[in-house]
Amino acid sequence: MAAYTSTLSTPRRRPRAALRVAMLAPPWITVPPPGYGGIEAVVALLCDELVARGHEVTLFAAPGSHSAADVRAPLAGTHADQIGSSLYESDHVSTAFDAVEQAAVRGRPFDIVHDHSGFTAAAMAARLSVPVVHTLHAPFNDETRPFYARHGHKVRLVAISHSQLEQAPPGVQVADVVPNPIRVGDWPFCADKDDYLLWMGRMDPDKGAHRAIVAARSASARLVIAGPVQPGQEEYFRSEIEPHIDGRDVSYVGEVGGTRRKELFAHAKAFLMPIHWAEPFGMVMVEALACGTPVIAFPEGAASEIVLDGENGFHVADEQGMADAVGLLDTIDPLRCRKSVASRYDVALVAGAYETVYHKVINTNAGRTARSARHSPPSRHRGVLAGPRRPPRIQHAR
């Protein structure tokens, strides 16, 4: 097993010293998101909870964002249709970094930067004197592995699931696992289900809306599909999804938000998760479960840990297995579904886990700074966590 700390299992402690946290959201969508936006939902919850626990949080996010934290918008507009554009991401990050540096110059330095924004901040983290915690929101794959092999040492990497951690390449040190949060009390619990299955997400073949259609057909069950068709997904939607929409057996309700989204989750008989990719977390699963809705999933990525086979849903191998599991839904207790989320992913647990991470990083950084001041000349090239190079840790491939 890889060397990491499962920070959630840390026993509760007394409140610790208040920290000054610079939280870096992605620049594309407001915090909280009006509809689609898993990372933005995570950042929204975390900021509110950290402020409630007495920390001073500054949130750098898309304009129009709202939070209990002090919100700053480095860019003039949102860019939901240009997710990943280096022009906007580098502008957003560099402007936020300028503000972090200015805070130090004014004698009010941040204690920690917590980055959720993509790749630029991690790559450039060595520019800052403040330690940077980088939550891994993307899977380790052929594109991201070389990036983290080169730049991962500049930040404290936090995985959002154990399965994501296990895919870290050799030499990339992921020190903590902190799952994404949900405020369970914000989600309506419903034990009395309507007669439909639900699929919700972005229209990406990896997420498998087309496989959900096959499974629902095979189970002779109604299916509701929700989610945005993002740029680049039009052809998949046109060819694989649209031809099956008849408003009766298969309905498409577009991108949903607010109460409508919660009601859809709460009243569904089950949530379908027929993924074919290493899902790093998958907020839709915990949202469904929080509402007392079982999840039937292909156990890939974090679906294998969020869904507890036979307890809050089922692990199935294919579309036919998914259809067969629909017949077993009566054996799943909706209350147990909700509890399986409250006990593992509630925002109070997650914020407490991040407090632990922040303090570990700050202490490590302070120790390093003191040691390097005593023993070595300053180096422009050192990452905040660099110090003497650590030996690579062995990670087990899946």
Task: Please work out the total of residues on this chain that contact ligand UDP, with binding judged by CB under 6 A.
Answer: 20
Give me the least distance between CB of 300 and ligand UDP, in Å please.
Answer: 13
Give me the least distance between CB of 247 and ligand UDP, in Å please.
Answer: 18
> What is the three-class DSSP state of 64?
coil
Nearer to ligand UDP, 131 or 227 (CB): 227
Give me the least distance between CB of 50 and ligand UDP, in Å please.
Answer: 20
Position 200 contacts ligand UDP (CB under 6 A): yes
Give me the least distance between CB of 126 and ligand UDP, in Å please.
Answer: 28
CA–CA–CA angle 93, 96, 100 (5° rounding) = 130
Distance CA 372, CA 258 (A): 51
Type and span of the H or E element at 134 = strand 132-135
* CA proximity to 130, closest of 243, 259, 287, 24: 24
Position 41 contacts ligand UDP (CB under 6 A): yes
Using CB under 6 A as the criterion, what x/- string covers residues 114-153 for binding ligand UDP? ----------------------------------------
Segment 259 to 318, residues that bind ligand UDP, using CB under 6 A: 261, 281-284, 287
* CA proximity to 62, closest of 51, 50, 76, 49: 76
Distance CA 119, CA 123 (A): 6
Nearer to ligand UDP, 111 or 115 (CB): 115
Distance CA 78, CA 89 (A): 11
152, 227, 301, 313: which one contacts ligand UDP (CB under 6 A)? 227
Taking CB under 6 A as the binding criterion, the range among 19-27, 56-64, 170-178, 223-231 that sits at the site for ligand UDP is 223-231
Is there a contact between 31 and 47 (Cβ–Cβ < 8 Å)? yes
DSSP 175: E
Give me the least distance between CB of 285 and ligand UDP, in Å please.
Answer: 7
Alpha-helix runs per DSSP H in the chain:
38-52, 86-105, 120-123, 144-151, 162-166, 209-218, 234-236, 258-267, 283-290, 303-306, 319-326, 334-345, 347-375
Nearer to ligand UDP, 35 or 205 (CB): 35
Position 59 contacts ligand UDP (CB under 6 A): no
Binding site for ligand UDP (CB under 6 A): 35-38, 41, 200-202, 226-228, 255-257, 261, 281-284, 287
